[in-house]
Structures are given as C-alpha cells and as structure tokens.
Structure 1
C-alpha cells in the first residue's frame, strides 16, 4: 500500500505550531548565481536557520506534539550531523532528555555541538550501525524522533517549501538535496500544492544515493554510504519519502563528491554564502536542469545547511583539486 502524502493543511498546521521556535529564513535573489547560470536564481537560506540547517523545523514540530509520557522517556535520534544537533538543541530548549546516535564519520563539530546542548552522544563505526543502535534504544523505551520517516517531521520540513512558495512565487524549478528524503518530501508537497506547475528536482551525491536506488528498484533498498557528504548519507530511504518523490519530484540527479565541493566554492564566490557540500551539490545539478528545461527557467535553490569547517573544506579542495565552476554563460 502506498503511504498517504503530506497535505498542505498538515504543513500549514506545522508552520503555526513551530512559529516562534524556528526562523522564517530569508528567501533572496542571488545576482551572482544568476550571472553564473544565466537565469534568475533565488536562494532559500536554510543555512541561517537555528543550528545551521533546516533540521530544527521537523525536530521542534515532533517534540511539541509528544505526550507527557513520551517526553518523560527521553528522545533518541540518529544522524549524520545536522538532525542530531537540531534535536539536541530543540530538546534542551523544551526540557527533554536526548540521546543522539552518530557514525564516527560524523563531523566533529556536530558531535561537539550536540554534546554542548546537553545531549548524550553515542558513536558507532558506521551509519548502518547507528540505525541498529537506534532501534535498540527505541526498543528499550526511548521516544523516537526519526530524521525522515515520520509524517510529523516531514510536515515540519515542509514549512521550508511553504515559505519558498510564498516568498518566490515566480520560480519554475526548485532544487532540493536528498539524504533520507524528509526535506524534499515536505518541500515538494508544499510547493506543488501551492504551485502545481513548478518542477521539483532532487539532488544526491555518489555514494549517498539511496533515493535514486530506491526509485530504480521501486522500493527502498539498503545501501552502504561512501560519500564525504555525511549529512546526506542515509543507508536507505523510507516508503513514505519514496512515495513523495515518486509522485511529486521531476527527477533525482546524482553528482560526484568533487562536484559538490566545487559547488560549495561556487556558492561562496557567487552567492556569498558558506554552504556545506550537501547544499553545494545543487550547483552542478542546476547546470544539468538547465540543459533539460532551457533558458527560460527561474531557479529556486534550497541551501539546506552550512555546518562545515574551514579545515573540512580545505581538505576536500586539496583531495579533489577543486575549483569553482566556470560561468555557464559569459558574464557582461
């Protein structure tokens, strides 16, 4: 049975519930990216959200809906970085004990931030092990706050799309990064409900392509993430997120890690924002989208997070010999 999709009413209710707990982030035109790509570009700056990514939207929405017993049991979440930090922060603000399970490859900055917010952090050798430990802790009585396989969390993430549709009504194509698929599920549900003519495109990196594999197989399949982009490295998507992508998303584009790093450098130079490769991957994907839809497009990029250190970026630049992408069309 195909899961029910999130409705616009669910997302609007989530927006009301989390108002005052999260930011309505800026939606701004980027003249630099527009010149670079040769078409108008609008950026949704979720990297300016609390904790540096979109993740507090879903985490706060979930926590605010818990029963007293669920709160008292303490919450647990699994994360490659951003969901863990957001859940730790939201739980601290709302007075709920939190345990965060992360793979050892998670950014040390994220591990430290979750601990600084008061959460217990449990590290495992890899993401598959993190999900296995998560299941153990839930079975022991902790309250699960899943990073993507939860309609309440997806409705919270969908508020990104609700704001984007209201603040940038002229976009024709919206690009969204995919890890487990919670963000794109919510954004696509909101944007397509408000603007059925808008095309939504998903973007993954090689080695963090669980959604592409699920679409090809017609069902979620286990994967072994190998991408440097740990914040997109879900070992599988869910039936719920897959259903949203299959129904509402034009296509999912997969780009190499090196191109995601080049995209982050391009965003720094052209859009003047500090974005992690999970957002940087949208830049090479935008070139591919324009090859397919033509020069009349008006792009909306959801810049999902900015939690990356200068040391991380310097290491990746050296590893991939990365430089910013050249402009699509001559400038001037």
Structure 2
C-alpha cells in the first residue's frame, strides 16, 4: 500500500486555505507540566475533521458533485463533511450510529445534511449501501488518502508555528489525524520530532494493534464504555500501515484522567474540549508523556474537538 506523502499534505494545505482556520498555539493549563495546545476546537465545525473533509470535497469531479457525498460518523466528521459540502453546493448524507451525541447530530442537520440512523456496528455497511444504490461518493472518516492528507495540515502548521517543537501529542481513533501529522513530522523534521498517540484504556485497539503487529478490532460493547465517543473506532488497514511506519509511540489514559483534563482545559486554558479532544492533554497532565522543563514550546498537545453535550461538559467541569 502506498502511503500519503508530505507533498500530498502540502497540496491539501493550499487546497483548503480559506475554508479552515489556521488555529493558534496557546498555553497549556496553568500549574501543570509545560506544553502548548493546538485548539482545533476553534474550527467552524468545532473539530479538526473539517480539514480532511474540505480536502476531499475540493477533489470531487463534476459528476460526484451532482450526486453528492455520503459518510458514516459519530459526529465530528459528519459535521465537517456537511459543512464542507454545503459550502460547495454538494448534497451530503451522514449515517450516524444510534446513541451519538445529540449536539453533533443537530449540527449536521443545521448544515443541511440528510441524517440516517444505524446500529453502531452497521453504520459503514449502511453508508456503503447508499454509495452503491444512490451513486454517492463515499468520504470515510479516516480510511481515505484525501482525508489523511487534509488532517496532516495540523502537523504542518505546528511545525511552522513552533520551530522548537520536539513532541506532538494527539488523540487516536481511526488514525487519520495521527497518520497525517506523523507523515508531516517525519518528512519535515525526520528524527527530531516525536509524534505520540493517545487512546482511552477502554478503547485501545490501536495500542493493541501496534503492540502485536496485527490489526485489532474491539466490539462496540467494549469501546462504547469510554466517554470519548469520537475515538470509539478501530484503525483501518490504511491507517494501521501509516502508524506502523511513522507513529513513534502510543499511550493510554483512564476515564478519570480524561475527565480531569476536560476540567483542566476549561479552568486553566479557557478551552471547551470534548473528552476525545482532551486525550492528548490528559496524557501530558497524567505524566504519560514527558515534557521538557521550562520549555513549553517543545511539546504540543492537539485539542482535536470541542463538540459535547452541555450537560456532560457542566458535570465534567464541576468534577462530578
């Protein structure tokens, strides 16, 4: 399998300029270890997923634009594709797993997406059925070179904004973000920038896959135990190949550590982060990934998204 290249990522960066926000680097929570934050929660759709979706939509041909796009998503990718498709006048359908966060589903509909509900284990099958029956273009959440290249632009920006960076920490679900960022880091600064992935202990398929060298897939009844709903998916063969070749390390965090990170980002960094978006900060705050004393600019944690139910956010921030 051919892997995405840094040239693919650079082309995506030029293609999506003006659609996505070049998010800043901001200070990590006060009182904790020194690191910076890359708040992708500040994107118009509230998550990094807009980068990959915008790149994929920009690459559609005229026939694909007329018929429309379809995806399967628990929320953030679905919102991103709906936003990017509406901006270019392309019809969009999102297959959503039952139990997905209402706030995310409501926003998909607000951006004119047709929402189709399915059992968690059936969402990809339903999306592929719509691709076949209605002639829609499938834009997967992560198992797609166009999407991986778009997500990799997060890494390009970090490397430009913090030339002193030596470690980038980010969440891993399906692996699209980690695949793209690791591609950028390994090509732009080979050997000098480590990319570390973070998963919840309760949905650690990527950690198992990379440890054993074989692609692992946990059933939904296991992965749905974590509050980090955006990473309740396993790697694809495509992202497994990228991470096996380019990711430096992967660590896991507990549910309590995730909850504390959401609260710390709210109180100490004035950022709204969903549990999935707080994974990288959780690993740093818990000491799973070492930082450089006195050099916050050396370590960057990606806050991948900030779309969560207001009641859950209030409970986590209050420490309940």
TM-score (norm 1): 0.88
Who is 2:89 aligned against?
95
Who is 1:106 aligned against?
100
Cα pair distance change 1:219/1:70, threshold 3 Å: farther
**Aligned partner of residue 50 in structure 1, secondary structure:** coil
TM-score (norm 2): 0.91
RMSD: 1.8
**Aligned partner of residue 52 in structure 1, secondary structure:** coil
1:234-313 to 2 correspondences below 5 Å: 234=233, 236-286=234-284, 287-291=286-290, 295=293, 298-313=298-313
1:149-168 to 2 correspondences below 5 Å: 149-168=143-162
Who is 2:232 aligned against?
233
Return the match for 1:191 from 174, 185, 188. 185
Who is 2:129 aligned against?
136
Who is 1:5 aligned against?
3
How far does residue 317 in structure 1 lie from its aligned partner after superposition? 6.6
Who is 1:223 aligned against?
218
- Say yes or no: does 1:14 pair with 2:45: no
How far does residue 294 in structure 1 lie from its aligned partner after superposition? 6.4
**Structure 1 residue ranges without an equivalent (≥5):** 323-332
**Aligned partner of residue 141 in structure 2, secondary structure:** coil
- Runs in 1 of length 4+ with deviation above 6 angstroms? none
Distance in 2 separating the partners of 1:289 and 1:312: 25
* Number of equivalences: 311
Return the match for 1:36 from 32, 35, 56. 32
Who is 1:26 aligned against?
24
* 1:121-175 Cα deviation digits (max 9, x unpaired): 011232x221221121122222100110111110001111000100011111110
Distance in 2 separating the partners of 1:68 and 1:159: 25
How far does residue 284 in structure 1 lie from its aligned partner after superposition? 3.0
- Is the 2:262–2:316 Cα contact (8 Å) retained in structure 1? no
Distance in 2 separating the partners of 1:136 and 1:51: 27
Distance in 2 separating the partners of 1:171 and 1:94: 36
Distance in 1 separating the partners of 2:201 and 2:116: 27
**Structure 2 residue ranges without an equivalent (≥5):** none
